[in-house]
Structure 1
Amino acid sequence: MDSACPDSRRHAGDGGAAVTVRVLSGTQAHAAVPGLTDVLLDCVAGGASVSFMAPLDRATAEGFWRSVVAGVERGERILLVAEDREGVLGTVQLVVGQPPNQPHRADLSKMLVHRRGRRRGIGAALMQAAEEAARAAGKTLLVLDTASPDAERLYTRAGWVKVGVIPNFALWPEGGFCDTAFFYKALG
């Protein structure tokens, strides 16, 4: 499914390297699976609590992205990527397929930025593009959860409201419990 969100935006990273953030169609998402897999593998190897345990193998990561692509094709998800000359730097999803009593809501999911793209504004650019895509899809409320203090700072700067923390909600990739913070943002 192609989204009504603008196709792309340029964001200048460190050194002036151009980064493009765009919404992917199902066909484009299929083609992006190798790059998306690399980002997921890097994030898990770097200790991110994003639903997977270490060591994460490539086949499992690719299988995850194929299921995401199927959701894009069914219109249940909107998949965004940030790319530079070297390929995919980051990604985020909007889960727009919600129950009948929540048609106004979407979940922001799997905000991932490869370590080579961190501290370059990639996360902020992905968040802004995701919010625009959510508005274009008619969503007025977004929710997310995170175990990352860095991500918490990003979300707070972007106007998200922290509603609480659940202790021991998930596991770190190497084991051990981690707390998870929950946020929401009303879109105007």
Structure 2
Amino acid sequence: MYSRGACIAWFIAIAEALLSIPLWGLAHLDSEGEGMGQRTAHGYLFFLNVLFRPALMVIGFLVAGAGIIVMGSFVHNIYGVVMASIQADGSAMGSFTGVVSTVGFVIIYCVLMNSVIHGCFNAIHIVPDQVLAWVGGHGTNSGQFGRDVASNTGHTVAGVIQRPNGPKIPGASNDGKAGQGATPPQAGSPSNN
């Protein structure tokens, strides 16, 4: 998800560069001062962004891989110790509580590892943005688009998996508590006209 979002963001930056190059060329015709004017500086920073972002994304991917090895190993090694210390007596493993707690521990482990993976793979977007910010490219934050693509993909998958808890009534709390929420409009009220 993250590399696809980064590639789409870079493709959009290429398209933006192709459309803005003629205007950037006209900005060089500034009659004030000598050499390059202030209006052309953004174009040069954008050119650096388009030129170096793919290599920096690859470096970010390598950093993400190293981060997953280090942080994933840490979580994996520590989590077993934590789980063993919580269920120290061992007698609960045959009971219903032991089965439920084991399933809960597996779910917590999956959530922890998922957050480690997502956090590490954000380096694909963070490394290019931060490195380019060192040369003054703070306005070229195309990595945010890549993060949004990856996040929206995850939200779409989660939305397909989830089931709705019933109809959503506008203005109602929909939390299952009786007597709370919106009351239906009365006959002859202004909202029905």
- Give the TM interval when normalised to the shorter protein: under 0.3
Q: TM-score, normalised by structure 1?
A: 0.28
Greater radius of gyration (CA)? 2
Q: TM-score, normalised by structure 2?
A: 0.27
Which has the larger share of helix?
A: 2
Which has the larger share of strand?
A: 1
